[in-house]
């Protein structure tokens, strides 16, 4: 029998590693509406499956007092099962040195990131820290560079998810920015490069952490956050839900599941007005044919003129990109182009077929958009669709005008199938604008100018805008009635499920970032 001293020492160390910064700091964490690092791990992973790595590691910095060299060094790392599948994770512990990142802390995160990539399994990082540990100087900064490098090398190979459940300041922000999805909570999350004190010192502007980089700012204005929830528990359950739609890595496809199927495609005729000046909610169109309650919207509060998200069709995962006529008539602007193109590239990385629902009047005009780089940003969407090799199907719901028609996965941009509803219009621009340009002299000279203009608009629509002209020329594969939408989409994606697209070898493309 072993001397009981061995086991006593093990239990002592284990208890110390799980104590974090002590009861007082844990209580303070709870008083702020935040869970501890370990409580978060317990919610994220299937019960009893998490296995910790590096629990006894401490900082090796000579500048750190002995009483601050706490087991675990302020981060819990390890692996377990989420929805029955392997996932690796790191969870920063704010009760230990404010969750700041030191050398040992960074090495623990890097180790588990390496294991995730080698195991071809997703990686989740829960951020709750004040940035680089000042006492460790350049060693702390070097730790960030190791994390950033691994984020970059793993990009497009395994899904990477960042969860911001407290402060994420300075250089710490750039790791989440490289990952695929960022989750935040409404009251306790902040992300900013320079804190309020620095902002005030430099600009004389007084601003709170929430105003500078809270969840509201990043979900509505900056577009940094993809999902926002009310508290830690709801946020982590949101991560679990997202992972149901994702494959383990870029060599696999998402898992098919049994879902409730109700075909309400016929309702599309009631949802979409044939008066092109009237708007509608494209989410209603999506939910009319998607498997029941399967649509998961991404970035719902940012660039609302485009909707992106995941859905299931007969239990199979699709990525959806849709113009939203309720906002800016569904036109493409700088932010919408960025939002849609990054999502298209994510889906292409991880073998998720893409469904595009098109109702677009064009790229957003105006000096503001031009000066903000609509040419450069708009080109990202063209690049993303043309580059993607996954199955791509487009359904033109109503308007498909100008360069935006091309950008929304047109036939020659690489769409495998293009369907259109009978009311769809494909043209350089709408009838009113076209007539005003083409017939301006004739209209100006007419005694009954308004009547002549309306007659010319009607003639233009009949001659140029109906979908059958595009179908005759091969730009549309089929004009379908609303009640057949789900059937046609299901069949199309089923026949494309084994699609393989050969491309010339290249190191990578040069997308217009």
CB 144 within 8 A of CB 104: no
Catalytic pick among 74, 170, 214, 430: 170
- 171 is known as an active-site residue: yes
Q: For the residues of 494-510, what is the DSSP string, one character each?
A: HHTTT--------S---
Q: What's 463's DSSP letter? A: I
CB 396 within 8 A of CB 476: yes
Token digits of residue 495: 């026949």
Token digits of residue 369: 């958009």
CB 176 within 8 A of CB 125: yes
Q: What's 132's DSSP letter? A: B
Q: How many CA atoms lie within 13 A of 447 on its CB side?
A: 0
- Residues in contact with 82: Cβ distance below 8 Å, sequence separation at least 6, in sequence order: 44, 45, 46, 122, 239, 240, 243
Token digits of residue 173: 């922000």
CB 122 within 8 A of CB 160: yes
Burial category of 211 from C-beta neighbours within 10 Å (exposed 0-12, middle 13-18, buried 19 and up): middle
- 48 is known as an active-site residue: no
Strand partners, 460: none
Catalytic pick among 129, 171, 362, 430: 171
- 223 is known as an active-site residue: no
Q: Is 312 helix (H, G, I), strand (E, B) or coil?
A: strand
Catalytic pick among 121, 154, 172, 404: 404
Catalytic pick among 137, 156, 216, 403: 403
- 234 is known as an active-site residue: no
Catalytically active residues, by annotation: 170-171, 403-404
């Amino acid at each position: 029998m072993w001397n009981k001293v061995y086991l006593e020492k093990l239990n002592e160390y284990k208890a110390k590693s799980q104590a974090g910064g002590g009861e007082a700091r844990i209580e303070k964490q709870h008083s702020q509406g935040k869970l501890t690092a370990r409580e978060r791990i317990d919610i994220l992973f299937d019960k009893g499956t998490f296995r910790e790595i590096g629990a006894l590691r401490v900082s090796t910095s000579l500048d750190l007092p002995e009483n601050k060299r706490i087991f675990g060094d302020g981060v819990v790392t390890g692996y377990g099962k989420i929805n029955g599948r392997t996932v690796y994770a790191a969870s920063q512990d704010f009760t230990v040195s404010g969750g700041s990142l030191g050398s040992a802390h960074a090495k623990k995160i890097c180790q588990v990131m390496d294991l995730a990539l080698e195991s071809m399994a997703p990686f989740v990082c829960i951020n709750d820290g004040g940035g680089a540990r000042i006492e460790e100087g350049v060693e702390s900064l070097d730790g960030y560079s190791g994390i950033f490098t691994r984020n970059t090398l793993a990009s497009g190979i395994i899904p990477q998810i960042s969860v911001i459940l407290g402060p994420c300041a300075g250089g710490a922000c750039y790791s989440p920015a490289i990952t695929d999805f960022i989750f935040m909570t409404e009251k306790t999350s902040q992300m900013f490069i320079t804190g309020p004190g620095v902002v005030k010192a430099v600009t004389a502007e007084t601003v709170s952490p929430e105003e500078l980089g809270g969840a509201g700012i990043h979900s509505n204005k900056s577009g940094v956050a993809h999902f926002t929830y009310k508290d830690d528990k709801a946020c982590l359950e949101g991560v679990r839900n997202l992972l149901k739609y994702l494959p383990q890595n870029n060599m696999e496809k998402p898992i098919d599941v049994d879902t409730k199927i109700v075909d309400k495609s016929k309702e599309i005729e009631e949802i979409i007005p044939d008066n092109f000046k009237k708007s509608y909610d494209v989410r209603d169109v999506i939910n009319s044919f998607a498997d029941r309650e399967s649509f998961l919207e991404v970035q719902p509060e940012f660039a609302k003129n485009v909707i992106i998200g995941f859905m299931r069709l007969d239990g199979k995962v699709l990525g959806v990109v849709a113009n939203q006529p309720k906002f800016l008539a569904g036109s493409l602007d700088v932010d919408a182009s960025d939002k849609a193109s990054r999502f298209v590239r994510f889906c292409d990385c991880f073998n998720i077929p893409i469904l595009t629902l098109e109702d677009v009047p064009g790229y957003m005009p105006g000096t503001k958009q031009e000066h903000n780089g609509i040419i450069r940003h708009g080109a990202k969407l063209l690049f993303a669709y043309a580059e993607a090799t996954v199955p791509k199907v487009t359904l033109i719901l109503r308007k498909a005008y100008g360069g935006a028609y091309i950008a929304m996965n047109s036939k020659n941009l690489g769409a495998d199938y293009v369907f259109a509803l009978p009311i769809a219009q494909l043209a350089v621009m709408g009838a009113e604008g076209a007539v005003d340009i083409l017939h301006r002299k004739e209209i100006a000279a007419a005694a009954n100018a308004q009547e002549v203009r309306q007659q010319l608009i009607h003639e233009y629509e009949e001659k140029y805008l109906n979908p059958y002209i595009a179908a005759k020329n091969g730009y549309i594969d089929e004009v379908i009635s609303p009640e057949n939408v789900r059937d046609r989409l299901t069949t199309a994606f089923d026949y494309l499920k084994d699609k393989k697209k050969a491309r010339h070898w290249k190191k990578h493309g040069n997308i217009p970032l």
